[in-house]
Chain A
Amino acid sequence: MTVALQASGLSKRYGDVVALDDVSLEIHAGEIHCLFGENGAGKSTLSGCLYGYVQPDSGELAIDVKPVKLRSPAEALRFGIGMIHQHFKLVGRLSVIENVLVGAGGRGLFLDTKTARRRLAELCSDYGVELSPDAIVEELPVGLQQWVEIIKVLFLGVRILILDEPTAVLTPQESDRLMAALERMRDAGMAIVLISHKLREVMRSDRVTVLRAGKLVASLRTAETSPEELSVLMVGRKVSPSYDHNREAPGEIVLDLNDVYVNGERGHRVLDGLSIQVRSHEIVGLAGVAGNGQRELFETIMRVRPLEAGRISIDGKDVTASSTRDVIDLGVGHIPDDRYLQGLIGSFTIADNIVLGRHHDCAFRKGPFLDRKAISSFATDRMSEYRVAARDSAARVDRLSGGNAQKVILARELQRSTSLLLANQPTRGLDVGVIDYVYRQLLAKKSEGFGILLASEELDDLMTLCDRIAVIHRGKIVGVVEPAATTPQHLGLMMAGQAIPGGDARAH
């Protein structure tokens, strides 16, 4: 088997942080090579080095055994290396064929669309994708937009394709289709580098390289390893996911949304007659492909986003006309999906973030002045209670790892909420240890009698934690199932918009 891309001794530091530490690996043609590891393990830095947008401090790259230096993605593309990012680099207003040609760069003044259309049609039929060349990209579903991105790169004739967590935005069915297509590319002799932290996908690769804290821990043939071994290698210790599920009978209704209509920024419907109820002692899951109204639903409950029609009540109190402050005062905690946008002030200290929103309380003030001593001692207590690992409460929040930043949010929101918890993607980007911690915190709150609305793109989260799972599609609940009575495949069909008769999110 021929070595397509070889890296030897790659190291990269960012300030005090070692992102990559002497990593060497070989990518073979005709192989799907998975880079596996927790967030912050160095997967992105490594792929950045391979694609030329991160310059390693030391180490060498060789393509087809010839040493090369990649100084930019443009150079990488010239050497036949392409990359699919998590955030697509497409021009939404342009058509599929135009986007493909933008990548190809025209020769002369006029775009040669005739040949391009033929190539496009060939590529589509090769991989079984139905893509109309004249469709406007922003009107396509996310799964197809990703295909535009892939075909754009294939069009340039790349031999090495790097994909950064490509299935994060896909339904299980779309993910399967993508994996099958990647296998066909492999069989055609391409080298595929797949970055992932999902074991299910990793197990479909040919070779897996495990990274931990910037170091290469192991490079194995996938057929000779097991999910158990890989997860131990990834975190460096054994994790035993077993959770006490207190299946008490749900109590009072704490959150009640009734026929809610909400519009987005461009005036289009984002919540389209959505109804859902959450009772105390209950975790209700919200499953759905990203962008189907999850974020807007949370914003609406927090009363940050105006309603067109419908009614919301919390703890039996109508909050349709209330302010965000009223909702918080009713004892609602909110764990937002975008931590640094909605949940934290990055340039502020941990202490300031823990009292954020309560900094006018008498407990934290002396006259008009902030009581620094009271704030930092309160924050230090919360940090030890919620196991935030940082030098002290005066450390800036944007210097924390994702897991510790999330714990700062938990410390604030869990500590002061009393009845209802809204958690949107609470495990996003976290490593296994922190995910386990978040799970236990949510279950503890449930047994205290909280009602919890939990949205997650990780079906594992929902299957493990929830009493009921509501599936959201295009701003509507298309069905409600119990985890024990469903499968990821079944959920996937519902997430893709296939309504299940009798689906209704109301508590029965």
Chain B
Amino acid sequence: MRIKLEQRHASSLLWQGMSYGLAILAGFAATAVLLKLSSADVSTAFAALLRGAFGSQRAVLRTLVDATPLILTGLAALVVFRARIWSIGQEGQVYAGAMGAYWVASSLPDAPLFVVGPLAMAGAILGGATMSGIAAVLRNRYEVNEIFSTVMLNYIVVYLLSWLLSGGPWTEAGTTVAYHQTPLLAQSAWLPQLSGPLHAGLLIAIAAAISVHLLLERTSAGYDMRALGANQTALRFMGMDVPRIVLVTMLLSGALAGLAGGVELLGVQHRLKADYLFGLGYGGIIVAMVGGLRPAGTVAVAILFGGLSSGAVDMRIQSGVPDSLIQAMQGTILLFVLCGTALARYRLTWSSAK
């Protein structure tokens, strides 16, 4: 028996959708095995997960709250990956965005929301874009591979924040250093609530998704980014300014990731603490990949993953499964989706050897 991979010449949209669905199911199945191994009751755990994610109005709202920053970091990853720029700096850019927003909001404690809100978001954008801008300049000027520069910048920002919060200027006064957090921001800087825990950040994220879609598919700047991803050499031969396109794309990506940090700060946490932001950037990479590097897919997957993380709390309470299992589950889903894309592009053929 011989098994061979053959390239498919036309892969239908239906087949692609099916392979994605199959991949997500396979991710759940693999997680079931993990649950079994940690001797939890699989059906109780999954039921709790589902209820916690989508089981009630409150659960749905919590899911959307968790999805909001993932939509933005997912879009940030999508933009660079579509241009084949392998920036994985979204994690650091989220931190930098939250820091930018905090700096603006804490400097204007008495300003009304319509002043401090937009300014803080601008601070978030600036924070994220600065980080990605540095990586872009390093790539354009000194040919530094963006994978290395963005990973290193992630460390720098994370440790910068950790210094600021543990004895640095932003440490909450009067508490022990062990909390590693800033004081709460004035209520005037909080994003308005839409319903229950759901805040206006979701609208920002949805608007960003629509804008990214229009930008990529309909504008000449988006043409540049897609063309950069498809064939950089041809762009150079056509006299396009490739370094400029790289810079613009990375600035946009950093701005989106920074916005995620700002939205999370002003919408949910209202104070700066490293734990709150951890994993949003890396999560965005998974969301964008599983979402097929499309804005609509990214939003859908962000909501799915938001559901997983908000349902994880119920799962832990009702079946004692640690919620870190959810991260393992997200990881397995990504692996299966990557296999699924291979399945959509290739087919297995069997032949019996004589």
The smallest beta-carbon distance between B74 and chain A, in angstroms, is: 22
Choose, from B149-157, B164-172, B190-198, B214-222, the stretch at the interface. B214-222
In the complex, A302 Cα to B218 Cα: how many Å?
Answer: 29
Known A-B contacts A359-B223, A370-B223; the reply to A345 vs B230 at CB < 8 A is yes
Instruction: Please give the distance in Å from B230's CB to the nearest CB on chain A.
Output: 5
Given the known inter-chain contacts A15-B10, A69-B354, A370-B220, please indicate yes or no for A342 contacting B230, CB distance below 8 A. Answer: no
**Of the 9-residue stretches B103-111, B199-207, B232-240, which lies at the interface with chain A?**
B232-240
Q: Within B214-267, which residues are at the interface with A (CB < 8 Å)?
A: 214, 218-221, 223-224, 226-227, 230-231, 233-241
B141 at the interface (CB under 8 A from A): no
- Counting chain A CB atoms within 10 Å of each CB, which of B2, B218, B237, B354 scores highest? B237
Contact of B239 among A328, A341, A348 (CB under 8 A): A328
Q: Are B227 and A356 in contact (CB under 8 A)?
A: yes
* A292 proximal to B (CB < 8 A): no
Assess the A15–B219 pair: CB atoms within 8 A.
Answer: no
- Inter-chain contacts of A189 with B (CB < 8 A): none
Set of chain B residues within 8 Å of A344, measured between Cβ atoms: 231, 234
**B351 — which chain A residues lie within 8 A by C-beta?**
71
Q: Give Cα A356 to B231, complex, Å.
A: 11
A345-B230, A346-B231 known; A360-B237 Cβ under 8 A: no
**Does A281 sit at the interface, judged by CB under 8 A?**
no
B230 / chain A contacts, CB cutoff of 8 Å = 345-348
CB–CB B237/A336 < 8 A: yes
Assembled-state Cα–Cα distance A282/B327 (Å):
67
- Rounded to whole angstroms, the CA-CA distance of A233 and B167 in the bound complex is 86
Q: Is the CB of A368 within 8 A of B239?
A: no
Of the candidates B10, B223, B235, B241, the one whose C-beta lies within 8 Å of that of A352 is B223
- What is the minimal beta-carbon distance from B121 to any residue of chain A, in angstroms? 21
Output the least CB separation between B269 and chain A (Å): 35
Point out the residue from A71, A304, A329 that lies within 8 Å of B237, measured CB to CB: A304
- Bound CA–CA A175/B109 (angstroms): 83
The answer to whether A360 and B236 have CB atoms under 8 Å apart is no
Contact across chains for B238 and A369 when beta carbons are under 8 A apart: no
B219 touches A369 (CB 8 A): yes
Q: What is the distance, in angstroms, from B304's C-beta to the closest C-beta of chain A?
A: 28
Which listed residue, B218, B219, B231, B240, touches A357 by the CB 8 Å rule?
A: B240
* B238 in complex: contacting residue of A69, A347, A356, A365, CB < 8 Å: A356
Q: Are A342 and B234 in contact (CB under 8 A)?
A: yes
Q: Mark A280-303, 1 if CB is under 8 A from B, else 0.
A: 000000000000000000000010
A325 to B235, CA, bound (A): 11
A327 within 8 A of B: yes
Do A324 and B218 touch across chains, with their CB atoms under 8 A apart?
no
Question: Complex: how many Å from CA A304 to CA B234?
Answer: 11
Distance between A14 CB and nearest chain B CB, rounded to angstroms? 6
Interface string of A322-362 (1 = CB under 8 A from B): 01111111000010100011111111100010001101100
**List of A residues within 8 angstroms of B231 by Cβ:** 340-341, 344-346
Please give, as numbers and ranges, the residues of chain A lying within 8 Å of B218 by CB-CB distance: 369-370
Contact of A357 with B9 in the complex, beta carbons under 8 Å = no
With contacts A71-B2, A348-B227 taken as known, whether A360 is within 8 angstroms of B241 at the C-beta atoms is: no
Nearest-CB distance from A493 to chain B (Å)? 34
Residues of A within 8 A of B219 (CB): 368-370
- Contact, CB under 8 Å: A356 / B220: no
Residues of B within 8 A of A368 (CB): 219-221
Q: Which residues of chain A come closer than 8 Å to B238, judged between CB atoms?
A: 324, 328, 356-357
| Residues of chain B contacted by A304 (CB below 8 angstroms) | 236-237
**What is the minimal beta-carbon distance from B306 to any residue of chain A, in angstroms?**
31
How far does the alpha carbon of A356 sit from the alpha carbon of B237 in the complex, in Å?
A: 10
CA distance A326 to B230 in the complex (A): 24
Check B220 against A341 for contact (C-beta < 8 Å). Answer: no
Determine the chain B residues whose CB is within 8 A of the CB of A369 once the complex forms: 214, 218-220
Q: How far is the CB of A311 from chain B (nearest CB, A)?
A: 21
Are A325 and B241 CB-contacts (below 8 A) given A304-B236, A345-B234? yes
Inter-chain CA distance A103–B15, complex, in Å, is: 41
| Residue among A325, A334, A341, A368 with the highest chain B CB neighbour number at 10 A | A368
Distance of B79 from chain A, by nearest CB (Å):
16
B239 & A325 in contact (Cβ 8 Å cutoff): yes
Task: List the A side residues contacting B234 at CB < 8 Å.
Answer: 341-345, 356
Which residues of chain B come closer than 8 Å to A346, judged between CB atoms?
Answer: 230-231
- Determine how close the nearest CB of chain A comes to the CB of B81; give it in whole angstroms: 15
Judge whether B220 and A365 touch: CB under 8 Å: yes
User: Known contacts being A360-B220, A368-B219, is A342 close to B227, with CB within 8 Å?
Assistant: no
Could you tell me the distance between the alpha carbons of A336 and B236 in the complex, rounded to whole angstroms? Answer: 12
- CB-contact partner of A324 in B2, B226, B237, under 8 A: B237
Residues on the B chain within 8 Å of A352, using CB: 223
For B7, the closest partner residue in chain A by CB is A14
Question: Can you list 7 contacts pairing A with B, beta carbon distance less than 8 Å?
Answer: A342-B233, A343-B237, A345-B231, A348-B230, A357-B239, A364-B220, A370-B219
The residues of B with any CB-CB pair to A shorter than 8 Å are 2, 9-10, 214, 218-221, 223-224, 226-227, 230-231, 233-241, 351, 353-354
**Known A71-B2, A325-B239, A369-B214; further 20 A-B contacts with Cβ < 8 A:** A14-B9, A16-B9, A302-B237, A324-B238, A325-B240, A325-B241, A341-B233, A343-B234, A345-B230, A348-B230, A352-B223, A357-B239, A357-B240, A359-B223, A365-B220, A368-B220, A369-B218, A370-B218, A370-B219, A370-B220
Nearest 9 CB-CB pairings of A with B: A357-B238, A15-B9, A325-B239, A324-B239, A328-B239, A345-B231, A345-B230, A368-B219, A342-B237
